[in-house]
Chains A and B, each alone.
Chain A
Amino acid sequence: MSGAPWWFTGLVSLISLAVGTLVGHVLTSKRDAKKVRIDNATKWLDKMRVDLKAIADAASKHYCNAPEAANYQSSCALIMADIKRLFSTSRQARFLHHADDSYLGAAILKFNDKVTGPAEFQDQSRGALAANHVIVTELRDAEVEVLEVCGRKQRVDD
């Protein structure tokens, strides 16, 4: 009977098996890595939503309540520190379109400006502002803008 020697057939089978295993391993690794990136993107978006809402709620409350000497400065400091953290968190995102990175940065700068920019922010002599006061409505609008950019498509492929 003619044909390849038995050891050659065995070697070819072994190589085929090794290549198959290697390809399978690479594909699985790629799928796992993509899943991790999708999970991270989802977690990032959830965190941004929660943190942003907490800051906007705290800021609205800060403006709509009459300033109390005891905790006014700490209320200001907490809001500023939280926005600073939000900005740091925002930089962890990898958007599909690079321009969205700068749109998000600009949206958070605007949000920060609407929250901590008004003279009333650290003015303890002011009274409580109405819930529909322009400062409150503008900071809520800025919150929506940040949320909109956060929801844009993130890069999850290599």
Chain B
Amino acid sequence: MKPFILFNVPKEFSRFCGGRKKDHGPYSGQEFWETVTRPLLAEFESIVFELTGGTAYSSGFLDEAFGEIGRVIGLREAKRRIKILAEDDALAVATAWERIKEASEEAHAQ
């Protein structure tokens, strides 16, 4: 497994992220999960997602894009391996971590 990657979402994915599902248009959270988050999780030990510079991110996008991290590796491991940064959008960071936490709790409750 490679050690580290910094993924700049506005530059390498889109400045104008879309909605929750692929059916609702381009740059959706589902597309992000399938083409970015999941492959990076498998390839890199430590990942920094830089959200700074993007327009606002919907809760639906963040849920699909990052929430699954909690289900796949759990909250504790997510905190160790993942950093989500957004200098201009504290709400997006808080929302993404809330979704990761919820998904982790749901997965462990089952």
A107-128 contacts to B, CB under 8 A, are: 108-109, 112-113, 115-119, 121-125
CA distance A124 to B18 in the complex (A): 12
**Provided the pairs A88-B90, A109-B94, A109-B98 are in contact, do residues A121 and B19 lie with their beta carbons within 8 angstroms?**
yes
**Interface size, chain B (Cβ < 8 Å):** 22
Residues of A near any B CB (own CB < 8 A): 76-77, 80-81, 83-84, 87-88, 91, 105, 108-109, 112-113, 115-119, 121-125
* Across-interface contacts of B92 in A (CB, < 8 A): 84
| A117 lies within 8 A of B63 (CB) | yes
A70 → B minimal CB distance (Å): 15
CA distance A29 to B21 in the complex (A): 57
Residues of B near any A CB (own CB < 8 A): 16, 18-21, 23-25, 55-60, 63, 89-92, 94-95, 98
**Residue ID in chain A nearest B18 by CB atoms:** A122
Q: Which residue of B24, B57, B90, B94 contacts A123 across the interface (Cβ within 8 Å)?
A: B24
| B55 lies within 8 A of A80 (CB) | yes
* Across-interface contacts of A84 in B (CB, < 8 A): 56, 89, 91-92
* Across-interface contacts of A112 in B (CB, < 8 A): 59, 91, 95
7 nearest A-B residue pairs (beta carbon): A122-B19, A80-B56, A116-B58, A117-B59, A87-B91, A116-B59, A113-B59
